[in-house]
Amino acid sequence: MAAKRRNFDIKFKENVLEYAAEHSGEQAAKHFNIDPKRIRYWKKQKMDLAAANKKRARLPGAGRKKVSEELDTKLSEWIHSMRGNHNRVSRAMIRNKALEIYPTLSDSSAQFRASRGWLKKFLNRNGFALRRRTTMAQKDPDLLIEKLVSFFDYVSKTVVSKRISEKNIIAMDETAVWFDMVSPSTIDVRETKSVALKTTGHEKSHLTVVLAAKADGHP
């Protein structure tokens, strides 16, 4: 199991350096339970630490760098190209594309796994987010309640006038099975107002499965 990454604020670093100045770097390393190499590195930063804002955990420019500037650029261009054609882009697709692009880069060096953590940071720094497909919601007819009451009244009168027995009345339900199941989400630019997705043209085509049961509950 990998050791948990420790973070040190500027005030802590200064305390370590003060202790090391009074004793030694090795004793400071043992006292604060840190690697002696860190102390030697912080000694080189001593002037910057003294001038830095004490509320900052790191010096400006410090921290883990991006895996590759070129990767960010090419991957962003690929996402924009896909979305420009209204193609869906999933998080898994981005990770796979990153693994495909990385070996071809001029600034690739260390092993790259396209982890979930990397993906989250990539999306944030490049302004991408998971977006839902925008559609116009179907509105209920203005006279829906009146139509339902009218239909119920018509059915009741028909049952009486035609003397239809209860055993001959069935309840039916319909379930649509769509030929083109369009995913409701895609990765896109965070501020985009319209999120369109390309389909086969059959997203409104479907077959209907009918379920029927008699009024007494038997199929």
For residue range 155-212, list pLDDT tens digits in order: 888 888 988 887 787 777 777 665 656 667 888 887 777 777 776 655 566 666 666 6
Burial class (CB in 10 A: 0-12, 13-18, 19+), 6: exposed
**59 against 150, higher pLDDT:** 150
pTM, rounded to two decimals: 0.44
In this structure, what token pair is assigned to residue 28?
């400071």
Mean residue pLDDT of the chain comes to 76
pLDDT: which is higher, 36 or 96: 96
- Which residues have CB under 8 Å from 98's CB, separation 6+? 71, 75, 112, 114, 118, 119, 122
Lowest mean per-residue pLDDT among 67-81, 101-115, 117-131: 101-115
Q: For residue 138, what pLDDT band results from cuts at 50, 70 and 90?
A: very low
199 residue type, one letter? T
Asked if residue 3 has pLDDT above 70, the reply is no
Q: How confident is the model at residue 95 (pLDDT cuts 50, 70, 90)?
A: very high
| Alpha helices by DSSP H, 52-177 | 69-84, 91-101, 116-125, 144-161
SS3 166: helix
The β-bridge partners of 172 are 212
Return d(Cα 214, Cα 219) in angstroms, integer: 6
Q: What are the structure tokens assigned to 87, written together?
A: 């193609």
Q: Collapsing DSSP states into helix, strand and coil, what is residue 179? A: coil
Q: What percent of the chain has pLDDT over 90?
A: 10
User: What's the rounded Cα separation, in Å, for the pair 11 and 36?
Assistant: 18
Name the one residue in this structure whose structure tokens are 């962003």: 76
Mean pLDDT value of segment 75-81: 92
Q: Domain extents for the chain? A: 10-51, 69-132
